[in-house]
Amino acid sequence: MAKSVHQTIGEKRAKLKTLRDEIEDLSDYLDVLEARAHDLGKARLTHDEVRKRYGLKTVNHNRRRNGRKIAA
């Protein structure tokens, strides 16, 4: 009896975690949609313009995390 109760609780917690993750993803998507609606009709920035504006580094997509080159 106690084993089945613990198993049920574990299953419910796993489902709850899945639901929370989905809600977070949907919330992020809603933020993107709201930002797009807010910026509708405004000029879009290129990646280089965004990097320059916010002082971001250029990402080298030809290398892995360990610094080795990716084979072409």
Which structural domain range is residue 32 located in?
Answer: 2-54
Q: Which residue has the higher pLDDT, 3 or 11?
A: 11
- Whether 60 is covered by a domain: the verdict is no
Q: Look at the chain and report how many structural domains it folds into.
A: 1
- Whether 50 is covered by a domain: the verdict is yes
Question: How far, in Å, are 16, 19, 29, 37, 59 from residue 24 at the CA level?
Answer: 12, 9, 9, 20, 27
Amino acid at the residue 6: H
User: Model pTM?
Assistant: 0.53
Q: Please report which residue ranges of 1-72 form alpha helices under DSSP H.
A: 2-38, 47-54
- Whether 68 is covered by a domain: the verdict is no
- Whether 6 is covered by a domain: the verdict is yes
For 14-71, how does the pLDDT look when each residue is reduced to its tens digit (9 = 90+)? 999 999 999 999 999 999 999 989 988 888 888 888 889 888 887 666 666 666 666 6
- Whether 72 is covered by a domain: the verdict is no
Contacts of 64 (CB under 8 A, 6+ apart): 70
- Whether 63 is covered by a domain: the verdict is no
